[in-house]
Structure 1
Amino acid sequence: MMVNYREKITALWVVFLLGLLFHTQLALMPLFHGLDVAHSHAGSESDVSIVFWLMLVFFLIPMAAIVAIAFTESYRYRVIHFGVTVLYSILNFFHVVADLMVQPIVWSQILLMVVLFLVGLLLNLVAYQWLRSSPAGKLRKARDVLHHS
């Protein structure tokens, strides 16, 4: 049976994006019950604008990754993609840590971010397997084995 890494990666990115969307929605849920939403980063309009642009980029990169996965088998892209997945895992880890510093701690957000972090680690693993499964990756692996012998 052939392993389809591209389908697995696409599914994991979609789960990740849905989790991010729910993370944002969960933060806004108090509004639907007439409660205030805490402003943890009160600042100027330009600060808020920068945050929105960064959030947009954070959402657009996985979307672009999904599209690129559908259209490329390139080893170079696989390397870049793996690097992006690692970067997102690092950023998610720091996001969990940052959410733990917000008072009061919203445990539903922490749980969701931990799940997203774990999905990210699984994405790292599958992206690495996809990288190593390419012809160029197999050649590099064989060359590494010969050098260590």
Structure 2
Amino acid sequence: MKNEIKVAVLWSIILAGLIVHGLIELIPLFYGTSVVMAGADGTMPSGDMWMMLVFYLVPMVFMAFTVLFTCKYLRLLNLLFAGLYTIANAFHFFEHMGMGFGVQVILLGFVFLVSIALTHSSFRLWKNPSLSE
């Protein structure tokens, strides 16, 4: 598979994992359990909304950039963001390991592994963009 397509597919898997992660957090609502964060006052901080936008938008942007443009600098930027997502996913995975919610641990572990594959494929795309596998 060409590296551009591989990178775009891996970004889409990570995006899907982020979406499913959020949905799993809402499942207790169906059983009448509160999902309100401790100490919440009923308003969501605007910083949290911006953070969510960035975390969902970045994968979509790099999916598009990877398949539409061949600029080496955009590929380096893709690699840097793939690395940042790998680090963020690692921290989030290990954070959830201590919470005892196995479903999220399995999902986040998978997303973390896909992040590693994304970083590896992004590195290969940056170093040798013409490489096909």
Same fold (TM over 0.5): yes
* Post-superposition CA distance 1:39-92 (Å, at most 9, x none): 25736736x321121011111011111111121111111111101100000011
The Cα RMSD (Å) is 1.9
1:109-148 alignment runs, 5 A limit? 109-134=104-129
2:11 alignment counterpart: 13
Whole-angstrom CA distance in 1 between matches of 2:38 and 2:51 = 16
Identity %: 28
Whole-angstrom CA distance in 2 between matches of 1:125 and 1:44 = 41
Cα contact 2:3–2:129 (8 A) shared by 1 = no
Shift of 1:106: 0.8
1:33 alignment counterpart: 31
Counterpart amino acid of residue 112 in structure 1: L
Query: More displaced, 105-114 or 33-42?
Result: 33-42
2:71 alignment counterpart: 74
| Change in 2 beyond 3 A, CA 1:51/1:43 | farther
| Change in 2 beyond 3 A, CA 1:88/1:41 | farther
Counterpart amino acid of residue 115 in structure 1: F
Matched, 1:94 2:87: no
Stretches of structure 1 lacking an aligned partner (at least 5 in a row): 136-149
| Change in 2 beyond 3 A, CA 1:79/1:101 | same
Whole-angstrom CA distance in 2 between matches of 1:40 and 1:119 = 31
* Post-superposition CA distance 1:15-34 (Å, at most 9, x none): 11111100000000010122
| Change in 2 beyond 3 A, CA 1:41/1:17 | farther
| Change in 2 beyond 3 A, CA 1:69/1:40 | farther
How many aligned residue pairs are there? 130
The structure carrying a bigger helix percent of its residues is 1
1:24 alignment counterpart: 22
Which structure's relative contact order is higher, taking Cα pairs within 8 Å and 6+ residues apart? Answer: 2
